């Protein structure tokens, strides 16, 4: 039986419990990496999720951001700060080791800043965040572990990952500088689980609420599961669960799920 690892930006966990809880019950993923909780730790719905058999590590924030790890296995070595830029108070990163029977997986939930617009300070913050992520990935890969870094990276790496690469070129989430920074992270030796198994498939993970983006097919693939070489060796499958975007009051993102050999 494989180990399933999912990433999902729920865009407010309280507003999305009607999606999250049934999905957890029906599919029972082993590990779930959540982003954009939009709630503090003390208001996180621990009870509802723990009742489904999950251990929870959360790093919340009121109104904005917030990340969490849900795991069917015990969690240890929890880290809630991406190294660098000590003044960063945004809750955008959480990492832990999930202890499987006879094995372990280091997992991280990453919420890269959106960047707002290329001429804004927030865009520069996004680029700095990606540089910090690059430095941390360097250190993680030296550990020679099975590592899965899932999250909303707010970057569509390649033309196939956006609905209109010509029109969107130079805009947030598909800006050349963002793509360059993302490639430098990947070039360290991480592997994009979905693209490894679906090299020519155009499938999106996010659609704007505005302008009927989902109905029009105007999406981007900005949610990724990035695997260390040791995790990639175990990769058996990966899917983007688009059906959830068509539900009532959905998140604007959908889960990305990969299966690793146990």
Which residues are the active-site residues? 111, 152
Q: Are 225 and 259 a contacting pair, CB within 8 Å?
A: no
Backbone phi and psi for residue 162, each to the nearest 5 degrees, phi listed first: -135, 155
What sections of 41-175 are H helices per DSSP? 46-50, 121-141, 165-168
Q: Are 13 and 255 a contacting pair, CB within 8 Å?
A: no
| Parallel/antiparallel/unpaired status of strands 235-240 and 103-111 | unpaired
CA 103, 30, 93, 112 torsion-angle sign:
positive
Q: Are 181 and 131 a contacting pair, CB within 8 Å?
A: yes
Here the tokens at position 17 are 């419990």
State the Cα–Cα distance between residues 152 and 182, nearest whole angstrom. 12
Centroid of chain to Cα 249: 20
State the Cα–Cα distance between residues 169 and 164, nearest whole angstrom. 8
State the Cα–Cα distance between residues 124 and 178, nearest whole angstrom. 10
| Parallel/antiparallel/unpaired status of strands 75-79 and 103-111 | unpaired
């Amino acid at each position: 039986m494989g180990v399933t690892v999912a990433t999902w930006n729920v865009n407010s966990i309280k507003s999305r419990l009607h999606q999250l809880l049934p999905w957890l019950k029906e599919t029972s993923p082993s590990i779930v990496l959540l982003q954009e909780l939009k709630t503090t730790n003390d208001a996180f719905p621990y009870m509802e999720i723990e009742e489904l058999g999950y251990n929870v590590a959360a790093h919340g924030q009121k109104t904005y951001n917030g990340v969490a790890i849900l795991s069917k296995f015990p969690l240890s070595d929890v880290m809630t700060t991406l190294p660098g830029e000590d003044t960063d108070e945004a809750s955008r990163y959480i990492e832990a080791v999930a202890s499987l029977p006879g094995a372990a997986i280091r997992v991280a939930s990453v919420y890269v800043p959106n960047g707002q617009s290329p001429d804004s300070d927030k865009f520069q913050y996004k680029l700095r965040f990606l540089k910090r992520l690059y430095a941390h990935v360097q250190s993680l890969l030296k550990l020679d572990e099975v590592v899965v870094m899932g999250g909303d990276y707010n970057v569509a790496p390649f033309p196939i990952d956006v609905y209109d690469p010509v029109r969107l070129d130079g805009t947030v989430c598909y800006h050349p500088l963002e793509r360059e920074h993302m490639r430098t992270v990947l070039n360290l030796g991480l592997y994009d689980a979905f693209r490894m198994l679906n090299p020519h498939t155009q499938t999106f993970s996010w659609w704007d609420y505005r302008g009927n983006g989902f109905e029009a097919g105007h999406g981007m693939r900005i949610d990724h599961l990035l695997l260390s070489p040791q995790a990639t060796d175990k990769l058996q499958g990966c899917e983007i669960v688009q059906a959830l975007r068509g539900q009532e009051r959905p998140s604007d993102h959908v889960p990305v799920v990969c299966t690793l050999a146990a």
